[in-house]
Structure 1
Amino acid sequence: MSDIRVRPAVPAEYEVVGELTVTAYTVGGHLDDEPGYAASLRDVAGRAASADVLVAVDDDDQVLGSVTVAAAGSPKAEVARDGEVEFRMLAVAPGAQGRGVGEALTRAVIDIARQRRAHRVVLSSRDRMTTAHRLYQRLGFVRCPERDWSPYPAIPLLAFSLDL
C-alpha cells in the first residue's frame, strides 16, 4: 500500500470518481437489479455537498478508488446513529483491485472517525459483496443484523460496525 495515498477528492476529479464507481459496481454485478442507482453513484458533487468524498491515488495521482464518509444525521447517512461515522459507495477500479486500495480507503475512514471522536464506524453492504465483507471483518468490523435493511424488497443490505 506504500504507493497508495488517500486524500479528499477535488471537484476536477468528480466525473472520474463517478465513472469509476459505476464501473466497479457494474463489473461486480451490483447494478444488475438496481440500474437507477448508477445516477446516485455518478453524482459525486451531490455527495460532496453533504459528506466527505475520499479518493485513493497512486504516485501519479491517478484515482484508484473512492469512498463517501457521512456523519450521523446527514443526508448521505443511512444507518449511522449519534456518535457514529458511516461510509458508503466504496469502490475500487477493476484494474486496481487486489492492491490494497479498499483497505487503504477503509483505514482512512477509521482514522477520520477517530479524529471526530466517534465511538463507532458503520456501513451497509449488499449481501453479495462478499469480498468487501471479508475485508471489513479482517479489519475488525462485525455484523450487526439488527441494522440490516432493504431500500427495495429484492435488495438486502447487511450492516457492519467497528467499535473504536
Structure 2
Amino acid sequence: MRTRRARPGDLESVGEVTVAAYAEFAGGNTAGYVRHLRDAATRDREAELWVATPDDTEEILGTVTITPPGSPWREVSRDGEGEFRMLAVSPQARGTGVGATLVDLVVERFRTDGATAVVMSTLAAMQSAQRIYRRAGFVRDPDRDWSPAPGIDLVTYRLDLGATP
C-alpha cells in the first residue's frame, strides 16, 4: 500500500469513499452532510487531501484530510498542534491496515513539521476508528469534546508527539 496527495482525477472517488465510509453513521443526517462528505475538491483546496492506494493500482482505499495551520477545516487544534479530519476507509478495505497507514502518515507529517501534538474529533459511535487511534497512542481529551449540531456528539483524541505509543 502507498500514500500520496490526492490528484484532480481522484477527487470523485475520494468523495464516494468518504460517503461510503460514513454511511452507517450519517443515516439520519441531512443531504447537506452527505454533500459535505462528497466534496473532496473543497477539502483538497482548503486543506491537504491524501489517499491510500494499493501498490499496483490507483484504486482509492482510503483518504484523510490534513488541516495545516490556517486551514478553515481546523476545529479543535491549538497553536503548535496538528489536526486531521474525515479519515475514511472504503468498506471493502476495512481491516486491512488502511486506517492505521493513514494515521501513521498524519502523525509523521506533523512530527516532521515540529508539531507538539496531533488532535482530531470523531463521532462517539465510531468505535472501530477509535481503536485505530488508541493503538497509535492517541488518548481521549474530553475537555475538547463538542457538538457541531444537535444530536451530533464528537469526542476528541490527542497524541502528544513527545510520547511514544
TM-score range, shorter chain: over 0.9
Question: Tell me, what secondary structure is at the counterpart of 1:112?
Answer: helix
Match of 1:104 in 2: 101
Once residues 72 and 40 of structure 1 are traced to their aligned partners in structure 2, the CA distance between those partners, rounded to angstroms, is 21
Once residues 19 and 144 of structure 1 are traced to their aligned partners in structure 2, the CA distance between those partners, rounded to angstroms, is 30
Aligned-CA RMSD value: 0.9
1:50 pairs with 2:38: no
Once residues 121 and 69 of structure 2 are traced to their aligned partners in structure 1, the CA distance between those partners, rounded to angstroms, is 14
> Is the CA contact (8 Å cut-off) linking 1:65 and 1:91 kept in structure 2?
yes
TM-score by length of structure 2 reads 0.93
Question: Tell me, what secondary structure is at the counterpart of 2:74?
Answer: coil
| Change beyond 3 A, Cα 1:81–1:149 | same
State the shift of 1:38 in Å: 1.1
Deviations 1:60-92 (A, max 9, x none): 121100000002442000111111111111110
Once residues 84 and 50 of structure 1 are traced to their aligned partners in structure 2, the CA distance between those partners, rounded to angstroms, is 18
Match of 2:3 among 6, 15, 27: 6
1:135 pairs with 2:137: no
> Is the CA contact (8 Å cut-off) linking 1:73 and 1:80 kept in structure 2?
no
1:4-43 matches, cutoff 5 A:
4-26=1-23, 29-35=24-30, 36-43=32-39
Once residues 136 and 81 of structure 1 are traced to their aligned partners in structure 2, the CA distance between those partners, rounded to angstroms, is 19
How many pairs were matched up? 159
> Is the CA contact (8 Å cut-off) linking 1:73 and 1:81 kept in structure 2?
no
Once residues 112 and 46 of structure 2 are traced to their aligned partners in structure 1, the CA distance between those partners, rounded to angstroms, is 18
5+ residue gaps, structure 1: none
State the shift of 1:119 in Å: 0.7
Once residues 49 and 29 of structure 2 are traced to their aligned partners in structure 1, the CA distance between those partners, rounded to angstroms, is 22
5+ residue gaps, structure 2: none
1:67 pairs with 2:38: no
Identical counterparts, % of pairs: 48
Question: Tell me, what secondary structure is at the counterpart of 1:136?
Answer: helix
| Letter aligned with residue 78 of structure 2 | R
| Change beyond 3 A, Cα 1:72–1:79 | farther
| Letter aligned with residue 88 of structure 2 | A
4+ residue runs over 6 A deviation: none
